[in-house]
Amino acid sequence: MPDLTHEVFNQPEPLVDYNLFEGNRALRAALKLNAPRLDTAELSALGATLGTREMQTHARLANVHTPQLRSHDRYGRRIDEVEFHPSYHALMTAATQAGLHGTPWTQRSTSPHVRRAAGFMLFTELEPAILCPISMTYAATPALRRNEAVYADWAPGLASRAYDPALKLWRDKAGLTMGMGMTEKQGGSDVRANTSEAVVDGQDNWGQRFRITGHKWFLSAPMCDAFLVLAHTRGGLSCFFMPRVLPDGSLNGMSIQRLKDKLGNKANASSEVEFQGATAWLVGEPGRGVAQILEMGTITRMDCALGTSGLMRHALSIALDHTAQREAFGKKLIDQPSMRNVLADLALESEAATALAIRVARAFDQAQDEHEKAIARLLTPISKFWICKRGSHFGQEAMECLGGNGYVEENGEGIMARIYREMPVNSIWEGAGNIMALDLLRALHKADAAAALAHELAPAKGAHPALDRLAAALPARVDQMATEVEARRLAQDVALAVQAALLQQTAPSAVFAAFCESRLAGNWGQVFGTLPATTDFDAIIARAMPR
């Protein structure tokens, strides 16, 4: 009889062995709008792989067994190596095989950047932390074109679908990754406060060579093969290419001081480093470092929006799957009216985030189009600001759908807790909210924002009165609110308007109507789960189900 108390029942089975892509109707609809000729077979195959129990185990182990710094070998020699669990390398192998790093810059296929964006979102559902070096390699690859000699040697390895973690000479590796070192402890986002100095050290096949002395407060993924770093020259703050292993096979003068103990992002190694006369080569013009960083920031900030969208989708999928199995008060949780309101509200937020993030990615595939250039400048900081700001609130509400089960971590199996810890990093990394607001103001000065926004909102004109009112008011708001004090509010308003217009083109009428009624018409509270009773909960929840 005592054994009967240990019978386990009314506990959901884990969400495993499902296709992340085929079950994501919002993502597939966004791809149909933004890349109608894209062959999605590779994405479907990736979605099937990422949903397996095996890959989920790798994600768990990579977070439980975190990176470890080995500054010296047992004989006292400085080696500055970071050791990772084998599961980390398995995940990196999968990400590079999927071409989520530098591959799109060399592809001639249809919509390579949108395809990569969709793959990046899917991979984030599995494990987001290891995507840090993947994202930085993606952002750094086009920047290297400003040093043609370095680019010629490194571009093939950066675009290769092979993963090679060994610390050795670039030409001896099957694949290469890159990181960035910009911020310093006294400046943070204010990179102009950097103190690292570069002095001329000669000329060689890679151009003008320098020696850099200084430090970096955040240098993520220190086991990458090379980094783009900022340092001062006589011409001002400049951008440099710094490999870990020098052309003669020796280690460069970069010492890893420690690894950061972060709230989340546990599988990824973030470090503090010192440069002790480290050798680096100039990339671009002297004194143009900040401008180049802003260009790379546009790319990595898009990845922040994509990443948070992926995390939202994963949290929503777990919440839906859990509540569809768990019973309380005589029926399934998903059938309880209050829970249905919460789930539908989360589904609206997730689909709107997906629609906006994929729209930004389309601008990179059509970079020669003037309108798309303006959209990239405007919507990148807006999407990073708004989607990432919504992430932490979203994660907490989704966790609450699981009750105490969502809060518990047992051997790293508490996926919802991992998602919640991961949410803030995309909002902070590559510029927190105020930096994004300032970027929006800069973009407004460089483009005809009113015309670009009018073009984006035109397809949804007349579809909903609340959207029409907001669209009509936006030109005046752009003029009146383009100040630092009100920039955040302006970013919010533009984000909501564009999300609504996109949903009108990609989502069923139930989703579009509920989004407009709640987010634009004000028939909504200040927490998730406050949609009006007239909402078509059945249609919205059915669309969002992961299986």
Could you tell me if 192 and 210 lie in one domain?
Answer: yes
pLDDT score for 109: 86
In whole angstroms, give the CA distance from residue 249 to residue 254: 14
Q: Where are the alpha helices (H) located in 83-229, listed in sequence order?
A: 86-97, 112-126, 131-143, 148-159
pLDDT(347) > 90? yes
Phi, psi of 328 (to 5 degrees): -155, 140
All residues at 6 or more sequence positions from 489 whose CB lies less than 8 Å from its CB, including other chains: 481
Is position 313 within any domain?
A: yes
Could you tell me if 122 and 174 lie in one domain?
Answer: no
Taking residue 291's Cβ as centre, other Cβ atoms within 10 Å add up to 12
In whole angstroms, give the CA distance from residue 312 to residue 160: 30
Q: Please report which confidence band the pLDDT of residue 100 belongs to, taking 50, 70 and 90 as the band edges.
A: very high
Could you tell me if 46 and 176 lie in one domain?
Answer: no
pLDDT(296) > 90? no
Q: Please report which confidence band the pLDDT of residue 1 belongs to, taking 50, 70 and 90 as the band edges.
A: low
Could you tell me if 369 and 321 lie in one domain?
Answer: yes
Is position 414 within any domain?
A: yes
Is position 16 within any domain?
A: no
Query: What are the CA-CA distances from residue 195 to residues 180, 219, 429, 471 (Å)?
Result: 16, 16, 21, 45
pLDDT digits 0-9 by tens, 448-505: 888 899 999 999 999 999 999 999 999 888 888 889 999 999 999 999 999 999 999 9
In whole angstroms, give the CA distance from residue 94 to residue 97: 5
Task: Name the more confident of 481 and 272.
Answer: 272
Last residue of a domain, which of 159, 193, 218?
Answer: 159
Q: CA triplet 297, 301, 305: central angle to 5 degrees?
A: 175
Is position 373 within any domain?
A: yes
Mean pLDDT of 308-318: 98
Mean pLDDT of 22-45: 98
pLDDT score for 3: 65
pLDDT(411) > 80? no
Could you tell me if 419 and 478 lie in one domain?
Answer: yes
Q: What three-state secondary structure class fits 148?
A: helix
Last residue of a domain, which of 249, 271, 288?
Answer: 288
Structure tokens at 24: 């994501």
pLDDT(412) > 80? no
pLDDT score for 2: 62
Is position 165 within any domain?
A: no
Could you tell me if 492 and 427 lie in one domain?
Answer: yes
Mean pLDDT of 104-122: 95
pLDDT score for 44: 98
In whole angstroms, give the CA distance from residue 421 to residue 406: 12
Query: What are the CA-CA distances from residue 209 to residues 181, 202, 233, 239 (Å)?
Result: 18, 5, 12, 12
pLDDT score for 89: 98
In whole angstroms, give the CA distance from residue 272 to residue 261: 11
Could you tell me if 399 and 489 lie in one domain?
Answer: yes
Could you tell me if 508 and 407 lie in one domain?
Answer: yes
Q: Please report which confidence band the pLDDT of residue 5 belongs to, taking 50, 70 and 90 as the band edges.
A: confident
CB of 305 within 8 A of CB of 379? Answer: no
Q: Please report which confidence band the pLDDT of residue 49 belongs to, taking 50, 70 and 90 as the band edges.
A: very high
Mean pLDDT of 133-143: 95
The domain spanning residue 530 has which CATH number?
1.20.140.10
Residue 179: DSSP 8-state: E
pLDDT score for 286: 95
Q: What three-state secondary structure class fits 442?
A: helix
Question: 39-44 long-range CB contacts below 8 Å, 24 or more apart?
Answer: 39/110, 40/118, 42/98, 42/115, 42/119, 43/115, 43/118, 43/119, 43/122, 44/19
Specify the number of domains making up the chain. 3
Last residue of a domain, which of 232, 265, 288?
Answer: 288
CB of 498 within 8 A of CB of 359? Answer: yes
Mean pLDDT of 332-343: 98
Could you tell me if 308 and 283 lie in one domain?
Answer: no
In whole angstroms, give the CA distance from residue 372 to residue 346: 29
Could you tell me if 504 and 443 lie in one domain?
Answer: yes
Could you tell me if 395 and 256 lie in one domain?
Answer: no
Taking residue 465's Cβ as centre, other Cβ atoms within 10 Å add up to 11
pLDDT score for 293: 81
All residues at 6 or more sequence positions from 397 whose CB lies less than 8 Å from its CB, including other chains: 342, 346, 527, 528, 529
- Write down the pTM of the prediction: 0.96
Q: Please report which confidence band the pLDDT of residue 58 belongs to, taking 50, 70 and 90 as the band edges.
A: very high
The amino acid sitting at 483 is: T
Which structural domain range is residue 147 located in? 25-159
Mean pLDDT is lowest, of 115-129, 286-300, 379-393, for 286-300
Is position 402 within any domain?
A: yes
pLDDT digits 0-9 by tens, 249-270: 999 999 999 999 999 999 999 9
Share of the chain above pLDDT 90, in %: 88
Q: CA triplet 451, 453, 454: central angle to 5 degrees?
A: 65
Mean pLDDT of 297-309: 94
pLDDT digits 0-9 by tens, 164-214: 999 999 999 999 999 999 999 998 888 888 999 999 999 999 999 999 999
Q: Report which of 112, 121, 230 is spatially closest to residue 179, judged by C-alpha positions.
A: 230
Is position 412 within any domain?
A: yes
Is position 9 within any domain?
A: no
pLDDT score for 69: 97
The domain spanning residue 278 has which CATH number?
2.40.110.20
Query: What are the CA-CA distances from residue 275 to residues 53, 241, 256, 257, 280 (Å)?
Result: 42, 13, 9, 10, 10
pLDDT score for 478: 86
Could you tell me if 283 and 318 lie in one domain?
Answer: no
In whole angstroms, give the CA distance from residue 63 to residue 67: 9
